[in-house]
Chains A and B, each alone.
Chain A
């Protein structure tokens, strides 16, 4: 079997990028984003991208870098409130956006990877999200048909991975990564630690290796915090 392990992000993406393609990128805000693969996509100069990601990074980091570089034509996202450039480009009509409710986005991606072409949800009924979509009644309640999402490439970030492509995510950095790993025609995963085969607990693997086409250990992680909030030492834990 050919090795999945690549030495760096550029070689992990070699032959997979083309203008006009659709890319899924994991992460919630800046938490759990494939930061090295995003940098490599910027370096590649590939353009006219449709990017599926819950958010679009921030000005100067994450997917915000691809936006600044004029590589994104369309975004499919649920929330972009942290990015001034995004809001400006969208209002000026330079960027196409398909706003998708967060749960619907997650489920569309999950469905895409699971071979389910569409599903019905109550989310968005009676709103602009429902425009042009089929509705149907089940048990007296109106539901909206949402189509699955797939991509030419998905890029995800995990905490640990092995040579087989098995992945384990950490805390809330998991978010959209596992579904996206399944919904790309190919998935490239970057990990903080590439570990010896056999050392991951087989009962705790989040993404089984079948979904992962290539894997690399990121050379460095900035893991930027979007909103640092702390409490003083004297305060007792509550909530």
Chain B
């Protein structure tokens, strides 16, 4: 059984270390917050200007002035702070954030990431993703292994416009976990989702990879 989105984000949450400052991208990565391991305390950064993001507010306590990067209503914690967008990205670009979890359309063996545009079809913009991959210490991508058409999203070379070159450290898909290491070494499959075979992964992956798994 391949991993569900919930399983994937739970796996990503195991990469969190106590004391980390973490930025979670919009969409699936947001779910990582639901799986923070016991005993691990992290501070979530929201790129629109907040450190110490709290959970969704109780119904009736939502505040239009308090939203996350996905424009969802959130709450504050005792330790929270607010700041402007330039400060927020100084924090990101300046290397003060330990970990970022992002979604993707394509990840390449050389560590390239594409997640903001499909020319002629889908144009949403890069938001803060290019800044995050340029400045955050460790970048984890969580994505479905294949497109709906069945085409592998872990590719030899990205065909979509890039978000960053050689920026992905770790990739978690519904089939397993790949050490990308920013393209400095060969892609290594380090973990298989339960019940997923190595042959299945090979058949569904365009990029070459090595593995010690049987």
B160 to chain A, nearest CB (A): 11
Contacts of A229 in B (CB 8 A): 56, 62, 72-74
Kindly list chain B residues whose C-beta atoms are within 8 Å of the C-beta of A32: 65
Q: How many residues of A contact B (CB 8 A)?
A: 62
| Contact partners of A54 in chain B: CB under 8 A | 85
One of B45-53, B141-149, B202-210 contacting the partner: B45-53
Contacts between the two chains (Cβ within 8 Å), count: 199
Contact B123 A230 (CB under 8 A): no
User: When the two chains form their complex, are residues B62 and A225 in contact, meaning their CB atoms are under 8 A apart?
Assistant: yes
The CA-CA distance from A109 to B66 in the complex, in Å, is 23
Q: Which of chain B's residues has its CB closest to A207's CB?
A: B84
Q: Once the chains bind, are A99 and B62 in contact (CB under 8 Å)?
A: no
B42 closest partner in A (C-beta): A239
Q: Chain A interface secondary structure, helix, strand, loop or mixed? A: loop
- In the complex, what residue of chain A is closest to B73 when comparing beta carbons? A229
Give bound CA distance, A179 to B50, whole Å: 16
Cα–Cα, bound, A206→B65 (Å): 16
Contact in complex: B82, A99 (CB < 8 Å) = no
Interchain CA distance A104-B129 in the complex, whole Å: 11
Assuming the contacts A227-B73, A230-B56, asked whether A106 and B64 have C-beta atoms less than 8 A apart, the reply is: no
In the assembled complex, the Cα of A172 lies from the Cα of B74 at a distance in Å of 10
Chain A 206-239 interface 0/1 with B at a Cβ cutoff of 8 Å (1 = within): 1000000000000000011111111111010111
From residue 112 to 126 of chain B, which have CB atoms closer than 8 A to chain A? 120-126
Q: Which stretch, B3-11, B130-138, B189-197, touches the partner chain A?
A: B130-138
Q: What mask results when residues 10 to 38 of chain B are scored 1 for a CB within 8 Å of chain A, else 0?
A: 00000000000000000000000110100
Q: Is the CB of B84 within 8 A of A174?
A: yes
Q: What are the interface flags for A161-184 relative to B under an 8 Å C-beta threshold, 1 for contact and 0 otherwise?
A: 000000000111111111100000
B165 within 8 A of A: yes
With A and B bound together, what is the CA distance between A177 and B59 in angstroms? 28
The number of residues on chain B lying at the interface, defined by a beta carbon within 8 Å of a beta carbon of chain A, is 63
Interface string of B47-91 (1 = CB under 8 A from A): 111100111111111111111101111111100001111101110
Distance to closest chain B CB from A203 (angstroms)? 15
Most buried by A among B54, B64, B129: B64
Q: Quick check: B130 and A237 within 8 Å, CB to CB?
A: no
**Residues B165 and A230 in contact, CB atoms below 8 Å apart:** no
Known: A175-B85, A176-B85. A232 touches B126 (CB 8 A): no
Of B77, B86, B128, most buried by chain A (CB within 10 Å of CB) is B86
The residue of chain B having its C-beta at the shortest distance from the C-beta of A224 within the complex is B64
Q: Taking the nearest CB of chain A, how far is it from the CB of B78, in angstroms?
A: 10
B152 is an interface residue with CB less than 8 A from chain A: no
Confirm or deny: A129 has a beta carbon within 8 angstroms of a beta carbon on chain B: yes
Distance A122 CA – B177 CA, assembled complex (angstroms): 28
A172 with B57: in contact, given A103-B93, A103-B131, A129-B130 (CB under 8 Å)?
A: no
Give every chain A residue within 8 A of B120 (Cβ-Cβ).
91
CB-defined contacts of B124 to chain A, threshold 8 Å: 79-81, 87
Q: Are B64 and A28 in touch, CB under 8 angstroms?
A: no
- Contacting pair A230 B71 (CB below 8 A): no
Per-residue B-contact encoding for A84-125, CB less than 8 Å = 1, 0 else: 000100110000010101111111011000000000011111
Give the distance in Å from the alpha carbon of A101 to the alpha carbon of B130 in the complex.
6
With a 10 A CB-CB cut-off, give which of B46, B53, B75, B128 has the most chain A CB atoms: B128
Question: What are 23 A-B interface contacts by the 8 Å CB criterion?
Answer: A28-B67, A28-B71, A29-B71, A30-B71, A31-B48, A77-B125, A78-B128, A81-B125, A82-B71, A91-B120, A101-B130, A109-B86, A122-B134, A126-B164, A171-B66, A172-B48, A174-B82, A223-B64, A227-B71, A229-B73, A230-B58, A230-B60, A237-B54
Q: Which 3 A-B pairs have the closest CB atoms?
A: A103-B89, A103-B131, A81-B124
